[in-house]
Amino acid sequence: MSFLTLSFSDIAIAALLVAVNAGLSIALQLGIAKRLLIAAARMVVQLSLVGVVLKALFSVASPALTAFAIVFMVLFAGREAMARQDRKFKGWWSYGMGTASMMAAGTVVTVFALTTQISPDPWYDPRYAIPIMGMILGNTMNGVSIGMDRMVAGALQGRQSIEARLALGADINEATRELVKAALRAGLIPTINGMSAAGLVALPGMMTGQILAGVDPFEAVKYQILIIFLIAGGTGLGLFSAVYFARRRLTDSRHRLRLDRLRPL
Amino acid sequence: MLTIQGLNRQESEASDVPLLMDVDLHIAAGRCAVISGASGAGKTLLLRAIADLDPNQGHVTLNAKNRNQMTAQMWRKKLCYVAAEAAWWSEYAKDHFDDLTAAKEKGLIFGLSTSLFEQSISRLSAGERQRLGLARALLIDPDVLLLDEPTSALDPKSTSEIETALQAFMEQGKVIALVTHNEAQGDRLGDDFYVMDGGRLATRERPKL
């Protein structure tokens, strides 16, 4: 396997493109030059740190440190998923439900992939475990945040029709069936669209990375297909879990709609 | 007979702000309790609490049976809350009824044509929707109707048809809790009179028209 290594000056030249963007923003008075530059700087710092951390983790290959890194990633994903919601539950519920769903879905799918398909030795080898968990989490986070957001927004919007059914003696499953279906559908659509367009509209990032790193394109494609299946599985599991958690929290044992459990705007 | 003792409701789980305070209400078989009061006094909240649509505390029984001994679904089928503005969950009127033949028969009593059931809800007038909402509630054959301004969108003829149907409902020994601003209607249907003020319910004399 051979690849062309990049020097720091190569990266600095590419950064000129961001500087051009910033220049345009100033010229056109868009008022986003500062944000653009801060975001670019954050990206460089964050990824450099990740590089350092990954290098250290790979060299020790400790199960405890790998698990720690994964928990850290999940906690951040939970925060990000919550930040994307317009209306949140009171207390820790939004964060807790999103994080628990991503933790469960990400862990199940990653362990499944590591023990049955990719089979590194040891199975928890951080070189495989961390990137796979990262890719699954990144996508599951989208599904979970869209699903929960749609669930809460739908309950607020459809409150009267849900309560009309409850008032006529419907149980909460019946009264919220359409709401749950809409939230699950919304959360799964990006995954379906991503699969339909894979390779035609854009080459997936991981595959491109492997090809640039000298991997045979067909091998890279096989990996990419596997990862897309894992992502679809993880997103589905995380989404189902988050939507059902949210439904539980939005209702109670007396089959009532509990919008009072949401934070006021 | 419907008996309510010491009914309380707070704003939310974590809040102490009371919305309903120590409400006592007793409606004997075949009678109608008329509840009046300013907007925001808690009339709608009271009906919703009786139907157990919002969390609340208190002793509520129907024919000596406590609501906690029944599932929420069974309770709401016996005590049906009808909102001032009926809500819908499907596009066509007919989709809201399990038994369309029975629905059409009930609709005829309220002056609704049978072709109306084939129409989209958005094409119906406010009055048609209100009558359809009431027909929908009567079709589940409840023992108690909790009515929130049931004829607010109706002309005098339709109002009279509805009131006749409600009288017939009470003649079966069934009970109505009626929230209305319409004092003449309260006088025609009511047996007992209450006024709601700041979350408290008090009895009052039959209003003199």
Q: What is the pLDDT of residues A131-171, one digit of tens each?
A: 999 999 999 999 999 999 999 999 999 999 999 999 999 99
Band (A1; pLDDT cuts 50, 70, 90): low
Nearest residue of B to residue A173 by CA position? Answer: B73
What is the mean predicted confidence (pLDDT) over A81-96? 90
**Contact criterion met (CB < 8 Å) for A162 and B14:** no
Q: Residue B13 has what pLDDT?
A: 79
Low-confidence ranges of chain B (pLDDT < 50): none
Cα–Cα distance between A18 and A20 in angstroms, integer?
5
Cα–Cα distance between B145 and B173 in angstroms, integer?
12
Mean pLDDT, all residues of chain A: 92
**Contact criterion met (CB < 8 Å) for A254 and B55:** yes
**Contact criterion met (CB < 8 Å) for B13 and A255:** no
Q: What percent of chain A has pLDDT over 90?
A: 80
Most A-contacting residue of B16, B54, B68 (CB-CB within 10 A), to test interface: B54
Q: How far apart are the first and last CA of chain A?
A: 55
Please say whether the beta carbons of A224 and A206 come within 8 A.
yes
3-class secondary structure for chain B?
Answer: CEEEEEEEEECCCCCCCEEEEEEEEEECCCCEEEEECCCCCCHHHHHHHHCCCCCCEEEEEECCEEHHHCCHHHHHHHEEEECCCCCCCCCEHHHHCCCHHHHHHHHHHCCCCHHHHHCEHHHCCHHHHHHHHHHHHHHCCCCEEEEECCCCCCCHHHHHHHHHHHHHHHHCCCEEEEECCCHHHHHHHCCEEEEEECCEEEEECCCCC
Which residues 6+ apart lie within 8 Å of A72 measured at CB? none
Q: How many CB atoms are closer than 10 A to CB A250?
A: 23
Cα–Cα distance between A225 and A206 in angstroms, integer?
11
Please say whether the beta carbons of A130 and A110 come within 8 A.
no
Q: Residue A57 has what pLDDT?
A: 92
The ipTM estimated for the assembled molecules is 0.94
- Chain B residues with CB under 8 Å of a chain A CB are 11-14, 51-55, 71-74, 76-77, 80-83, 85-89, 136-137, 140
**Contact criterion met (CB < 8 Å) for A167 and B140:** no
Please say whether the beta carbons of A231 and A175 come within 8 A.
no
Please say whether the beta carbons of A234 and A139 come within 8 A.
yes
Please say whether the beta carbons of A150 and A74 come within 8 A.
no
| A-chain residues near B137 (CB < 8 A) | 167-168
What is the mean predicted confidence (pLDDT) over A245-260? 96
Q: Residue A175 has what pLDDT?
A: 96
pTM of the entire predicted model: 0.87
Q: Which residue has the higher pLDDT, B2 or A5?
A: B2
**Contact criterion met (CB < 8 Å) for A161 and B53:** no
Band (A241; pLDDT cuts 50, 70, 90): very high
**Contact criterion met (CB < 8 Å) for A164 and B86:** yes
**Contact criterion met (CB < 8 Å) for B76 and A169:** yes
Q: Residue B111 has what pLDDT?
A: 83
Kindly tell me if the per-residue pLDDT of A3 is higher than 80. Answer: no
Q: Residue A205 has what pLDDT?
A: 83
- Give the gap in angstroms from C-alpha A22 to the nearest C-alpha of chain B: 48
- Comparing A116-130, A197-211, A214-228, B28-42, which segment has the lowest mean pLDDT? A197-211
